């Protein structure tokens, strides 16, 4: 097998980050990495806050958050009046779940590609309310048309109270046709929550065009914002029903202010987020997306070749800008959560490489990401050493 050439590096991009050069950071999708200039922006805001906390929190902070919200909403083509800043996508999901009024007999429908923490949140809300949850099985190689049909067949109008679907799945790096799924659900009167945790920055996003009742996305992954920066977008019919997880002084303002204001929360991550988008645009948004997707695809092919995986067995994420790729591990390796965590830790400790490992549908999978600070040599080095580590068990 001849592996295609990797993309050309973006000059100077690696120097924007303070990552440990002794480690190959190939898992940007989990916690992201904050550029140095964004770190400095946040530190200046923290210095301002600590110089006079009372002034920082009581004089203009709400207006500054509103300005930030509008900036991020514009980037996502979302209605700023229906967009709330939240700590992460999982927090946004929790807000939605506890606001829609689940009752005994209601059903929350998901797929088997959902993010684990979101599944746990759904399960907890179902236990609390007497509702139930059900997951649709979606084959990894399913076409967009097949995915839409699976969802269409799985909906139970009158019982399915909420459909939760990922825009880009975390465990399987699969791009879902969310706009088409939302259309099918709307025909049957089922509200949809789209988990777009990985979308902002990586994918071209038009939240309004997706048309979901609820949409959540993280800016601290692919949008170069500090960690703890995400948005919850709510369609007009639902906004008056949204309740925050914590009630504070902006409660009477209604959504989105009541969700955003959390008293003495450190808001500097949110206020720094526009600097992250400025950095991304400075590098060239389309250029970054093409580079990251191409590098992830290169890494997938290099690792696949090293592990003896046929090219046809390497999953295709279904989109030219998807910067996460899966490599199937040998049968019996990392098929459970505990085993996957243990293997990830061994790779980090012994090979100085950070990757994601997950067990999904009885198979272990290694997930690679591509980012502007990565080089082809990092994937090649992992490919040269990983087979021997797996052989040792």
As a whole number of angstroms, the distance between CA 366 and CA 16 comes to 27
Task: Say whether both 236 and 154 belong to one domain.
Answer: yes
pLDDT given at position 3: 57
Task: Say whether both 218 and 234 belong to one domain.
Answer: yes
* Rounded mean pLDDT, 74-81: 98
* Rounded mean pLDDT, 279-308: 97
Instruction: Give the confidence band of 1 by pLDDT, cuts at 50, 70, 90.
Output: very low
Task: Say whether both 263 and 294 belong to one domain.
Answer: no
Residue 269 domain-assigned (yes or no): yes
Task: Say whether both 339 and 193 belong to one domain.
Answer: no
User: DSSP for 254-265?
Assistant: -TTHHHH--SS-
SS3 for 166-190 is: ECECCCCCCECCHHHHHHHHHHCCC
Task: Say whether both 296 and 241 belong to one domain.
Answer: no
| Global confidence as pTM | 0.96
| Domain end marker among 215, 243, 278 | 278
Residue 119 domain-assigned (yes or no): yes
pLDDT at 200 over 70: yes
| Domain end marker among 259, 278, 297 | 278
Domain interval for residue 269:
38-278
pLDDT at 2 over 60: no
Task: Say whether both 266 and 355 belong to one domain.
Answer: no
Task: Say whether both 310 and 241 belong to one domain.
Answer: no
User: DSSP for 343-385?
Assistant: HHHHHHHHH-EE-EEEEETTEEEEEEE--TT--HHHHHHHHHH
Task: Say whether both 244 and 335 belong to one domain.
Answer: no
pLDDT given at position 393: 74
As a whole number of angstroms, the distance between CA 94 and CA 97 comes to 5
Residue-wise pLDDT for 114-165, tens only, equals: 999 999 999 999 999 999 999 999 999 999 999 999 999 999 999 999 999 9
Instruction: Give the confidence band of 317 by pLDDT, cuts at 50, 70, 90.
Output: confident
Least Cα distance to 259 among 221, 224, 216 occurs for: 216
Number of structural domains, the chain?
2
Q: What is the CATH number of the domain that holds 324?
A: 3.90.1150.10
Task: Say whether both 293 and 359 belong to one domain.
Answer: yes
As a whole number of angstroms, the distance between CA 68 and CA 74 comes to 10
Residue-wise pLDDT for 208-260, tens only, equals: 999 999 999 999 999 999 999 999 999 999 999 999 999 999 999 999 999 99
| Domain end marker among 218, 247, 278 | 278
User: Mean pLDDT, the chain, as a whole number?
Assistant: 96
Residue 6 domain-assigned (yes or no): no
pLDDT given at position 319: 76
As a whole number of angstroms, the distance between CA 213 and CA 247 comes to 23
Task: Say whether both 242 and 212 belong to one domain.
Answer: yes
Task: Say whether both 106 and 233 belong to one domain.
Answer: yes
Written as six digits, the tokens of 297 are 């695809």
Task: Say whether both 256 and 354 belong to one domain.
Answer: no
Residue-wise pLDDT for 170-183, tens only, equals: 999 999 999 999 99
Residue 2 DSSP one-character state: P
As a whole number of angstroms, the distance between CA 194 and CA 325 comes to 21
Instruction: Give the confidence band of 346 by pLDDT, cuts at 50, 70, 90.
Output: very high
């Amino acid at each position: 097998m001849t592996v295609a050439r990797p993309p050309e590096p973006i000059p100077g991009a690696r120097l924007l980050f303070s990552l440990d050069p002794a480690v190959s950071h190939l898992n940007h999708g989990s916690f992201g990495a904050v550029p140095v200039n964004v770190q400095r922006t946040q530190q200046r805001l923290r210095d301002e806050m600590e110089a006079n906390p009372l002034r920082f929190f009581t004089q203009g902070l709400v207006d500054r958050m509103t300005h930030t919200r509008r900036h991020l909403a514009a980037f996502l083509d979302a209605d700023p009046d229906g967009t709330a800043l939240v700590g992460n996508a999982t927090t946004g999901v929790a807000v939605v779940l506890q606001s829609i009024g689940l009752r005994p007999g209601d059903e929350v429908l998901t797929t088997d590609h959902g993010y684990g923490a979101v599944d746990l949140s759904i399960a907890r809300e179902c236990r609390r309310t007497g509702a139930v949850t059900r997951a649709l099985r979606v084959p990894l190689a399913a076409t967009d048309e097949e995915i839409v049909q699976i969802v269409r067949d799985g909906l139970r109008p009158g019982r399915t109270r909420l459909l939760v679907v990922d825009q880009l799945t975390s465990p399987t790096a699969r791009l879902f046709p969310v706009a088409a799924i939302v259309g099918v659900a709307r025909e049957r009167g089922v509200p949809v929550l789209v988990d777009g945790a990985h979308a902002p920055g990586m994918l071209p996003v038009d939240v309004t065009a997706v048309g979901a009742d609820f949409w959540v996305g993280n800016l601290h992954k692919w949008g170069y914002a500090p960690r703890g920066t995400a948005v919850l977008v709510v369609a007009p019919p639902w906004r008056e029903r949204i309740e925050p997880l914590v009630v504070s002084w902006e409660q009477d303002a209604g959504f989105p202010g009541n969700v955003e204001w959390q008293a003495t929360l450190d808001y500097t991550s949110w206020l720094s987020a526009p600097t992250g988008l400025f950095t991304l645009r400075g590098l060239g948004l389309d250029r970054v997306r093409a580079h990251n997707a191409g590098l992830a695809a290169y890494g997938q092919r290099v690792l696949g070749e090293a592990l003896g995986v046929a090219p046809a067995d390497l999953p295709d994420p279904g989109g030219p800008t998807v910067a996460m790729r899966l490599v199937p591990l040998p049968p019996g390796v990392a098929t459970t959560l505990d085993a996957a965590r243990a293997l990830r830790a061994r790779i980090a400790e012994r090979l100085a490489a950070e990757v994601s490992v997950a067990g999904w549908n009885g198979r272990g999978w290694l997930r690679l990401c591509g980012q502007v600070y990565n080089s082809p040599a990092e994937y090649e080095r992992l490919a040269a050493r990983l087979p021997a580590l797996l052989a040792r068990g």
